[in-house]
Amino acid sequence: MAPSLLVEAAIIVAATVAIWKGSDWLESSSERLATYYGLPEVVQGAIIVAVGSSFPEVATVVVAALGGSMPLGVGAIVGSAIFNILIIPAAAGIATDDQLEASRTLVYKEAQFYMLAVSVLLITMALAVIYYPGEATLTGVITRPLAAIPLALYGLYVFIQYQDTADHDPEKDWTADISVRREWLFLLLGLAVILVAVENLVHAVGVIGRAAGIQEFLLGVTILAAATSLPDTLVSVKAARDDRGVTSLANVLGSNTFDLLVAIPLGVLIAGTWTVDFAMAVPMFGVLTGATILLFTVLRTDLVLSELESYALLGAYAVFVAWVIVETAGWVGGVLPT
């Protein structure tokens, strides 16, 4: 590897560490503020903590869109979603001594609404291919009006969570134990650190990708996705160790719902348009759908995630990574464009 590429690789590592630290401030402050305002556990995980831990992905899409590298940002979102669904629950399940507990609310509301989010984004891409076809075959242009479709669905999601919050009666008043001003300060500081780190991360990944001749979308699905998903992993593992399995799993599903329905449309709103390659998007969304079904299945069995099921999720992600490597290297005739 050339010296300049070694420098970029070092920047990726440093930026990942900075994202982790900034996200730690952001997420801990978000969680304490959610407790201060008396939000129920599922809403804490699915909205407050999830949006906080999703900020690295949002920042990635924004930076990529402003830099004219929208495929890199979208690839990071899709790859992060797959990483979150398979790796994070597995890591949380393995890190705890007991089985990771779920709940019917989590399985039947969060998981199924997330499946709906995947479907709506894929339908939005299909509408772009049908009504705004690109120059190449099976490409379409997602415009700002089309981006409003997933945003509207997220609005419905927030409304549902609001209803749950309105029906919730906090068991204990924690307001005396929390300094609101201090938590808001750390939240804003975390946002600033993440923005700076993500900008350097996206640039470094882009440089290495161009040097290696790898498509931006695939770089986003692998390197960027893993780097930006690290905060989500640490948050969920910590929650699982604190016997808060519902919050741990709700963070995963809520983060993915936010990423798909808000982060990608936000990038389109900034860039104006995004030309989606349906031939590449459909296989990735197929993997994401399969991963979601797998997680839903293992969570529904007795409403717990066992250690064996956790290792099964890890194995599924290993198969996904191997498939991406084989497709990218062109060792076999595959479905991903090269």
- Check if the beta carbon of residue 72 is closer than 8 Å to that of residue 214: no
Domain range summary for the chain, segments of one domain joined by +:
1-166+179-329
Q: Which 3 state secondary structure label does DSSP give 270?
A: helix
3 state DSSP class of 45: helix
Mean pLDDT, consecutive 10-residue stretches, the chain (338 aa), reads 76 86 79 72 62 79 84 85 91 85 77 85 91 87 94 87 67 62 85 86 83 77 83 77 77 83 90 86 87 88 88 94 76 51
Select the CATH number that applies to the domain covering 1-166+179-329 from these four: 3.30.200.20, 1.10.10.10, 1.20.1420.30, 1.10.620.20. 1.20.1420.30
The string of DSSP codes covering 243-303 is T-HHHHHHHHHHHHHHIIIIIHHHHHHHHSEEEEEHHHHHHHHHHHHHHHHHHHHHHHSTT
Please, are residues 217 and 46 in contact by the beta-carbon 8 Å criterion?
A: no
Q: What is the pLDDT of residue 22?
A: 83
pLDDT at res. 338 = 46
Going by C-alpha positions, the residue among 291, 151, 299 that lies closest to residue 221 is 291
